[in-house]
């Protein structure tokens, strides 16, 4: 069996999807811990709240320790890497422990049709802004079937259109109470200062108003419990 379908099946058990993959070029210098270059990189993530129930059913969600979703992701990614003979890379591994973050958004753009959005998050034509990455799995070999399937998938992706280009009103840029978005960047300090003022305000209880204002894929918007979880993670405890 090719790796792609096997990984896809293994991820679905945990509410995660195989978001695609690509064969890195030597210039990208993506290597396994043993130094061998990665022949293929597969990306795993969630669409909307697809992983929320599986995460909530895990001990990580309730043990009171910091970064529960990252620890859940690492637990799954490491287990799958071991099962299939590869290595896992994580979006949250970065400074100060690592020199830089892995370029997950760039990798994602090579896996599926993604476009820049005014909120800087990547826009997916079907999933809107409601998708994120949990880990990447890299392997030192790739079988011919996977290589061909990945090349064909990239061809399809190029035919999609960016929904933001036909969105005349751009409600995402009108919705933030502190104008943290101007279409060019994200004022993280203004956002955090506002959100930490009151734990019961709507940004905290219902999620980011700018992201929620996006008309694409409204059915995938995070439910209140998940929205609150992500906003709490975004406002560090030492600022709260």
Residue 171 sits in the site that holds ligand B12 (CB under 6 A): no
Touching ligand B12, residues 123-162 (CB under 6 A): 129, 131-133
Give 23 or 149: the residue with its C-beta nearer to ligand B12: 23
Pick from 87, 6, 84, 18: nearest CA to 50: 18
What is the smallest separation between the CB atom of 83 and ligand B12, expressed in angstroms? 22
Q: Percentage helix, strand, coil, to 5, in the chain?
A: 40, 15, 40
Residue 57 sits in the site that holds ligand B12 (CB under 6 A): no
Residues with Cβ within 8 Å of 126's Cβ and at least 6 positions away in sequence, in order, are 217
- The alpha carbon of residue 159 and the mean position of all alpha carbons in its chain are separated, in whole angstroms, by 22
Q: H-helix or E-strand containing 37?
A: none
What is the smallest separation between the CB atom of 163 and ligand B12, expressed in angstroms? 13
Pick from 134, 108, 144, 145: nearest CA to 52: 134
Residue 74 sits in the site that holds ligand B12 (CB under 6 A): no
What is the smallest separation between the CB atom of 27 and ligand B12, expressed in angstroms? 15
**Candidates 78-86, 137-145, 166-174, 226-234; binding stretch for ligand B12 (CB under 6 A):** 226-234
Of 74, 102, 110, 221, the one binding ligand B12 by CB under 6 A: 102
**Whose structure tokens read 């506002």?**
194
Q: Tell me how far CA of residue 123 lies from CA of 17, 173, 203, 214, in angstroms.
A: 17, 15, 21, 10
Of 60, 72, 104, 139, the one binding ligand B12 by CB under 6 A: 104
Residue 221 sits in the site that holds ligand B12 (CB under 6 A): no
Of 14, 19, 122, 221, the one binding ligand B12 by CB under 6 A: 122
Of 8, 56, 58, 105, the one binding ligand B12 by CB under 6 A: 105
Binders of ligand B12: how many residues, by CB under 6 A? 25
Helix ranges (DSSP H) in the chain:
3-12, 52-56, 68-84, 104-111, 144-157, 188-195, 202-206, 209-212, 224-234
Pick from 40, 36, 56, 47: nearest CA to 6: 40
Give 85 or 215: the residue with its C-beta nearer to ligand B12: 215
Residue 230 sits in the site that holds ligand B12 (CB under 6 A): yes
What is the smallest separation between the CB atom of 185 and ligand B12, expressed in angstroms? 7
| Binding residues for ligand B12 (CB under 6 A) | 91-92, 94, 101-106, 116, 119-122, 129, 131-133, 186, 188, 208, 230-231, 233-234
């Amino acid at each position: 069996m090719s790796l792609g379908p096997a990984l896809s099946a293994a991820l679905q058990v945990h509410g995660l999807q195989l978001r695609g993959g690509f064969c890195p070029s030597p210039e990208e210098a993506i290597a396994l811990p043993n130094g061998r270059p990665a022949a293929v990189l597969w990306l795993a993530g969630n669409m909307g709240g697809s992983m929320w129930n599986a995460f909530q059913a895990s001990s990580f969600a309730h043990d009171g320790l910091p970064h529960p979703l990252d620890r859940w992701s690492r637990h799954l990614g490491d287990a799958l890497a071991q099962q299939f003979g590869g290595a896992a890379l994580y979006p949250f591994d970065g400074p100060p422990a690592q020199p830089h973050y892995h370029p997950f958004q760039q990798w994602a753009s090579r896996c599926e049709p993604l476009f820049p959005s005014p909120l800087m998050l990547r826009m997916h034509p079907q999933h809107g802004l409601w998708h994120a990455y949990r880990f990447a799995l890299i392997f030192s070999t790739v079988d011919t079937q996977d290589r061909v399937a990945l090349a064909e998938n990239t061809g399809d992706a190029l035919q999609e259109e960016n929904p933001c280009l036909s969105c005349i009103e751009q409600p995402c840029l009108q919705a933030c109470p502190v104008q943290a978005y101007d279409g060019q960047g994200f004022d993280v300090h203004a956002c955090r200062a506002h959100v930490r003022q009151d734990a019961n305000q709507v940004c905290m209880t219902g999620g980011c108003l700018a992201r929620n204002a996006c008309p694409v894929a409204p059915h995938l918007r995070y439910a209140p419990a998940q929205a609150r979880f992500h906003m709490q993670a975004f406002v560090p405890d030492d600022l709260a």
